[in-house]
């Protein structure tokens, strides 16, 4: 018997609105269609009517998880058009916030994956580790969601010696729960049964969909923008690009798990070697000539691109935002084929989608 | 600081450029669209060339050839997204359903050039009309 099973746009396993139509044969998925756009807030259009300073605040609200990545990508685009060179300390502070954001995003996905699998004690353990990261972000920036740490020309706020010491202490405290989470996900039979061989995507499929971030790297793509096209002084830090080859849900979980370790290394290096320079260029209202620039940065979920066009006025001609989920969500039908309906929620969640980001 | 590496191409060169990029295994990073100050449609194709972005720009056209038969999944949503906000067509693009805009939105293709106040008023009128029914 064949059925068409709708999932979403409001579904208990997925926290954000997306609609997936599953075309099934019995309990196996033959084909699927993804419908997006339930959360469009017209942010790109609004950006056309804002000046450069207002736009930073606006784009930071595209997403509640990777808010810093959005404002950073926008600032980098404007700085490149205006030919502004950010002082090293400003770049290092941006890197620290980027990596803390990656930590809490990856912990979030690991927790949600555990919850969907039905392993709620792992969910709680992961979220208690995530809470330490949230505390660090709150201490450094004053906020848990929109950090407001970027301005055009550098970082808005400094991190003093005491702050850096405190950060290193929190990072040290994180190591023990992190080891335990690796142990849980690496050894547990339930996790393995629910994730290994499920929702597979080959290297060739990943390439043709143009996948990015942990989702692409789980299928063998070497696509970490921090490594291949460094920005914000990422070239100063010693870390590895985590790549797996199996392309299943387990690989996606594993990539994120190992990337947490790499982010910890980056934060430690940045905090220990913080340069003694100004944090920004002191630009209040930037003079931006007519120009265009395409920025790409490695947000927690993958490659985030901002195409910004200016026309010499005080506002944007165009701000075109493409988030990692724009790339990764298109691959969902290919991942679902041949899998069971019961695994559909987990497979969709394994790309770590952010539909709020995607719809902007 | 990175410099944009831009090459301007005409409409007839788009497909051969995409085929060349695919044969060299260059990843299509993203496609973007905007309307410039003079009112020209501008489409930008951004490729990853050994870690650097290479941008090909084609401007001043109303129709562009699709590259979805070359870059398939990478280009599909990019072209559909551009069609929703700009008055352009990609010849040969098999459009699915809507992407970001509501099903009943009647200003498709006009968003980038319509002032936000006008869009707001149109929406208000629509809501009033429905309420009065």
The answer, yes or no, to whether residue B95 has pLDDT greater than 90, is: no
* Interface test mutation site (partner A, options B46, B86, B100, B105, max chain A beta carbons within 10 A): B100
pLDDT at A27 (0 to 100): 85
d(CA B74, CA B65): 15
Q: Name which of B4, B77, B85 is nearest A330 (Cβ-Cβ).
A: B77
pLDDT at A237 (0 to 100): 92
* pLDDT tens, residue by residue, B34-55: 988 888 899 999 998 888 889 9
Q: Which residues of B touch A (CB under 8 A)?
A: 1-4, 6, 27-30, 32-37, 44, 46, 48, 51-53, 55, 71-74, 76-78, 81, 85, 96-102, 111-112, 116, 119
Low-confidence ranges of chain A (pLDDT < 50): none
The answer, yes or no, to whether residue B1 has pLDDT greater than 70, is: no
Binding residues of A for Ni(2+): 63, 66, 354
pLDDT at B38 (0 to 100): 86
Taking CA atoms, A352 is separated from A13, A65, A172, in Å, by 12, 11, 26
d(CA A205, CA A213): 15
The answer, yes or no, to whether residue B68 has pLDDT greater than 80, is: yes
pLDDT at A11 (0 to 100): 64
* pLDDT tens, residue by residue, A128-168: 999 999 999 998 998 888 898 999 989 999 999 999 999 99
Query: Is the CB of B34 less than 8 angstroms away from the CB of A317?
Result: yes
pLDDT at A54 (0 to 100): 92
Contact B7, B22 (CB under 8 A): no
Band of the pLDDT at B85, cuts 50, 70, 90? confident
3-state secondary structure of A353: coil
> Residue B5: which of B46, B60, B50, B33 has the closest Cα?
B46
pLDDT at A6 (0 to 100): 86
DSSP symbol at A304: E
Average pLDDT over residues B64-91: 87
Multiple choice CATH, B6-132, 3.30.565.10, 3.30.460.80, 3.30.1520.10, 3.40.47.10: 3.30.460.80
Query: Is the CB of A294 less than 8 angstroms away from the CB of B32?
Result: yes
pLDDT at B109 (0 to 100): 67
Q: Write the CB contacts of B88 (distance below 8 Å, at least 6 apart in sequence).
A: B33, B41, B43, B61, B62, B63, B64, B82, B109
Hey, where are the domains in chain B? 6-132
Q: Cα-Cα-Cα-Cα dihedral of A233, A238, A241, A242, to 10°?
A: -130
Taking CA atoms, A359 is separated from A110, A128, B76, B129, in Å, by 23, 30, 16, 27
Query: Is the CB of B2 less than 8 angstroms away from the CB of A231?
Result: yes
Domains defined for chain A, CATH in brackets: 44-339 (1.10.645.10)
3-state secondary structure of B4: coil
Tell me the CB-side half-sphere exposure of residue A198, using CA atoms within 13 A.
24
Average pLDDT over residues B98-104: 75
A139-162 as b/e: b if 16+ CB within 10 A? ebbeeeebbbbbbbbbbbbebeee
User: For the whole model, what pTM was predicted?
Assistant: 0.89
3-state secondary structure of A310: strand
CA distance A25 to chain B (A): 23
């Amino acid at each position: 018997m064949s059925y068409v099973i709708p999932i979403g746009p409001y579904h208990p396993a997925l926290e954000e609105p997306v609609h997936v139509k599953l075309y099934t044969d019995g309990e196996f998925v033959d084909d699927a269609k993804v419908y997006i756009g339930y959360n469009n807030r017209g942010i790109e259009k609004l950006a056309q009517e804002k000046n450069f300073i207002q736009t930073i605040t606006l784009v930071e609200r595209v997403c509640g998880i990777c808010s810093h990545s959005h404002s950073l990508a926008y600032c980098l685009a404007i700085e490149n058009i205006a030919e502004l060179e950010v002082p090293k300390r400003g770049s290092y502070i941006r890197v620290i916030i980027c990596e803390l954001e990656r930590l809490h995003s990856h912990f979030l996905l690991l927790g949600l994956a555990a919850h969907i699998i039905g392993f709620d004690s792992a969910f709680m353990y992961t979220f208690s580790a995530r809470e330490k990261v949230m505390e660090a972000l709150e201490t450094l920036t004053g906020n848990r969601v929109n950090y407001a740490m970027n301005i055009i020309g550098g970082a808005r706020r400094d991190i003093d010696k005491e702050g850096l010491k405190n950060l290193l202490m929190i990072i040290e405290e994180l190591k023990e729960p992190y080891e335990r989470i690796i142990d849980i996900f690496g050894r547990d039979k339930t996790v393995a049964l629910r994730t290994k061989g499920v929702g597979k995507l080959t290297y060739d499929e990943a390439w043709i969909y143009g996948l990015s971030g942990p989702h692409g790297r789980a299928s063998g793509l070497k696509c970490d923008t921090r490594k291949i096209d460094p920005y914000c002084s990422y070239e100063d830090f010693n870390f590895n690009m985590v790549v797996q080859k199996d392309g299943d849900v387990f690989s996606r979980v594993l990539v994120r798990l190992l990337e947490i370790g790499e982010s910890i290394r980056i934060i430690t290096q940045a905090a220990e070697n913080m340069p003694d320079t100004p944090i920004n260029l002191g630009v209040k209202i930037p003079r931006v000539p007519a120009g265009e620039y395409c920025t790409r940065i490695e947000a927690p979920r993958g490659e985030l691109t901002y195409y910004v066009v200016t026309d010499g006025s005080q506002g944007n001609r165009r701000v075109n935002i493409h988030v990692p989920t724009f790339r990764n969500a298109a691959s969902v039908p290919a991942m679902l084929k041949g899998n069971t309906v019961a695994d559909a929620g987990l497979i969709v969640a394994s790309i770590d989608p952010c539909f709020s980001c995607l719809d902007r | 600081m990175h410099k944009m590496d831009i090459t301007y191409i005409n409409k007839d060169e788009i497909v051969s450029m995409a085929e060349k990029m695919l044969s060299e295994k260059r990843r299509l990073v993203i496609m973007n669209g905007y309307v410039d100050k003079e009112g020209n449609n501008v489409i930008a194709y951004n490729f990853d060339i050994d870690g650097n972005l290479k941008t090909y720009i084609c401007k001043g056209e109303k129709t562009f050839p699709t590259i979805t038969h070359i870059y398939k999944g990478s280009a599909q949503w990019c072209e559909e997204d551009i069609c929703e906000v700009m008055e352009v067509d990609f010849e040969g693009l098999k459009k699915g359903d809507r992407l970001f805009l509501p099903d009943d939105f009647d200003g498709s293709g006009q968003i980038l050039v319509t002032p936000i106040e006008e869009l707001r008023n149109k929406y208000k009128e629509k809501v009033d009309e429905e309420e009065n029914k």
